[in-house]
Amino acid sequence: MITDEYKFETLYHGGIQARLAFGDYELSIVKGQHSYGGNKGMFEIGVFKEGIMTEMPGITNPGDTVKGYLTSDQVKVIIKKMQVATGYQPMEMEHVQD
> Which tens digit of pLDDT belongs to each residue from 38-93?
999 999 999 999 999 999 999 999 999 999 999 999 999 999 999 999 999 999 99
**pTM for this entry:** 0.91
DSSP single-letter state for residue 32: S
- The reported pLDDT for the residue numbered 18 is 96
Residue among 11, 29, 13 at smallest CA distance from 66: 29
Domain boundaries, the chain: 2-93
CA distance 2 to 76: 7
pLDDT(5) > 70: yes
